[in-house]
Amino acid sequence: MQNLTAVLYLISAVLFILSLKGLSSPLSAQRGNLFGMIGMALAIITSFFVADKPVIWLILAAMTAGAIVGAYKARTVAMTAMPELVAAMHSLVGLSAVLIAIAAIFHLGVSHSGMQKVELFIGAFIGAITFSASVIAYGKLSGKFGARAINFKGQHGLNLVLVLAILGFGTLYVWGDSQSSFLIMVGIALALGVLLIIPIGGADMPVVVSMLNSYSGWAAAGIGFTLNNPVLIIAGACVGASGAILSYIMCKAMNRSIISVLLGGFGAAVTEAGPAGSAQKNYRSGSADDAAFLMENAEKVIIVPGYGLAVSRAQHALQELSDLLSARGVDVRYAIHPVAGRMPGHMNVLLAEAEVPYDKVVEMEEINSEFSTADVVLIIGANDVVNPAAKNDPASPIYGMPILEAYKAKTVMVVKRSMNAGYAGLDNDLFYMDRTMMVFGDAKKVVEQMLQAVH
């Protein structure tokens, strides 16, 4: 039986690895999800046979309740709410790690070795930070807590004190087997999770979501050691490592330091206030008909989607417009910034939902060289990721951040509800350029008007 369990867990682990590999490409993502589901089902079934006197009815009841809630949320969640849903799921992973560690410590008649205590300590404090940090991230993304960064004097010093306190109480637990010290450590870790996220502005939330994904993986891996569950260790390590790699890639895309992300300090310097003096600047506005005429007569059009596209759910109408232009000989492509939207891959998922061909969706590194040859760039709901201040204004908080170089196109059209600043609270000089035309209104209505004009 022991050998069979090891083989089944090994198969599950391989399926999880194949799942991550499949998710690396839109073309193989469906297969990757299938591998992941099969691997998880196999791991759960195997766990029933190796658990020590499991309470089957209680486990099945919890699984059923979770499946019902999960299926309901998956079917009803709006595309705009996907980032906060992911943050909420991360919080549940962290909470699970904490509760498992507490249950293991208070399990009567069970003693833990020094190494097991270290594993419990690591899994619990990472899980506690993941839980509270994810709750705050959820609140910021959903607007319940506000997206503004919260900073106060001595913030980093307080964080350092809390880290030292966590290590101190953790040591007391490991060496003295003090259950109260363990609970105090968990409480401090929960507070630290909050303090790590509050100084991060809403515009930087995509990296936070990615980093919390990594934290949840490491928390699961830590608890896997406690439970002596190899598949949990492997799956947690894969999630933790992939999340960390993605966070590093996104930090490069935002010109941020991965160390400052880990310390919860980056984003603090970003100004969250509204733009000063934007009302005095001149800009040129036009109608949807004007925009349609320009695109009809263009040879090459690049579309830059942003969070505003998700809010208005204009992706299907936009794809219809794209298909119509392509049928008339216009080369239409979509440009994707790594941190567009409010979570990694948000725009990719949005466009996939509208069945945009994968070969039409191009990442920033590949598309930037093509903006100078584009006749028209249509920006819908994007702001900070096309802000030229990142290139030419050393005083800007986003200076040095790689952007989609839409300003190089012959004509730039921006669909926005108003001239208000984007999520980062920064004005955008692109909107006031001579070759930029603002088209005001709800993105879906504007695109539908463009579609009618092209017909």
pLDDT digits 0-9 by tens, 256-287: 676 766 555 544 444 444 444 445 678 888 99
Give whole-number Cα distances, 276 to 180, 420, 425, in Å: 52, 11, 10
Write down the mean pLDDT value for the chain: 84
Residues classed as catalytic: 384
The values of phi and psi at residue 20, to 5°, are -65, -40
CB 447 within 8 A of CB 415: yes
Tokens 């992941």 -> residue: 36
Q: 284: closest CA among 441, 86, 432, 69?
A: 432
- Find the mean pLDDT for residues 305-324: 89
| DSSP summary character for residue 285 | B
303 - beta bridge partners?
Answer: 334, 378
Query: Cα–Cα distance between 33 and 15 in angstroms, integer?
Result: 10
Identify the bridge partners of residue 415 per DSSP, sorted by sequence position. Answer: 380, 439
Helices (H), 254-278: 258-262
**Helix or strand run (H / E) with residue 119:** helix 114-142
Place of tokens 């509760």: 99
- Percentage of the chain beyond pLDDT 70 is 90
> Quick check: 322 pLDDT over 90?
yes
Instruction: Report phi then psi at 411, rounded to 5.
Output: -140, 135
Phi/psi class of residue 255: alpha, beta or left (left: φ > 0; alpha: ψ in -120 to 50)? Answer: left
The answer to whether residue 130 scores a pLDDT higher than 70 is yes
pLDDT, tens only, 10-34: 899 899 999 988 887 777 888 999 9
Lowest mean pLDDT among 35-39, 88-92, 111-115, 384-388: 111-115
Residue range(s) in the chain whose domain bears CATH number 3.40.50.1220: 278-454
In this structure, are residues 396 and 378 in contact, taking their beta carbons and an 8 Å threshold? no
Q: Give me the pLDDT at residue 104, please.
A: 85
Structure tokens at 242: 């992939």
Report residue 435 as tokens. Answer: 């070759």
Q: Is the predicted pLDDT of residue 201 greater than 90, yes or no? A: no
Q: Where are the alpha helices (DSSP H) in 284-357?
A: 288-296, 307-312, 315-327, 346-353
Does residue 54 surpass a pLDDT of 90?
no
- How many CB atoms sit inside 10 A of residue 328's CB? 12
Give the number of other CB atoms < 10 A from CB of residue 438. 18
Whether the Cβ atoms of residue 340 and residue 382 lie closer than 8 Å to each other: yes
Instruction: Please tell me which residue, 365 or 280, carries the higher pLDDT value.
Output: 365
> In this model, does residue 166 exceed pLDDT 50?
yes
Topology (CATH level 3) of domain 278-454: Rossmann fold (3.40.50)
Q: Which residue has the tokens 């079934």?
A: 45
Q: What is the pLDDT of residue 424?
A: 59
Instruction: Report which of 217, 63, 61, 30 is spatially closest to residue 134, judged by C-alpha positions.
Output: 217
Q: Radius of gyration of the chain from Cα atoms? A: 25
Length of the chain: 455
Give the pair of three-digit tokens for residue 67: 């499946």
